[in-house]
Amino acid sequence: MTQEELAEKLDLSINYVGALERAEKNLTVTNLINIANVLGVTADMLLCDEIRTGYKIKSSMITEKIEKLSPSDRDKIMQMLDIMLGEK
């Protein structure tokens, strides 16, 4: 979704949405909730890079994606992780 599309759906100016993205403006709780609703995500998903518990959210999202893979592809992912972590 473009900034223009998001701004239109939120009834905000494009400049304001751009300033939010560049962290030049502070986001109100109301706008945070509205953005989450427009994007169809939870507020914690939007904040997962900013708060420490965000890694739990990302881990959960990764787990959900891995569960959709075939057993063979899951094994490949695990092998790659083992290599990256120096375990094999």
Do 14 and 39 fall within a single domain?
yes
Asked if residue 1 lies in contact with residue 8, where contact means CB atoms within 8 angstroms, the answer is: no
Q: Looking at this protein, which amino acid is placed at residue 27? A: L
What phi and psi, each to the nearest 5 degrees, are found at residue 24? -90, -20
Q: Which secondary-structure segment (H or E) carries 4? A: helix 3-10
Count of domains forming the chain: 2
Q: How far apart are CA 9 and CA 3, in angstroms?
A: 10
Do 88 and 62 fall within a single domain?
yes
**What confidence category does residue 62 fall into, taking pLDDT thresholds of 50, 70 and 90?**
confident
Do 38 and 57 fall within a single domain?
no
pTM listed for this prediction = 0.55
Do 41 and 4 fall within a single domain?
yes
Do 82 and 56 fall within a single domain?
yes
Return the structure tokens found at 35.
Answer: 């953005």
Do 6 and 36 fall within a single domain?
yes
Domain containing 86 equals: 52-88
Is the pLDDT reported for residue 23 higher than 60?
yes
Question: 1: closest CA among 35, 42, 48, 30?
Answer: 35
Do 36 and 3 fall within a single domain?
yes
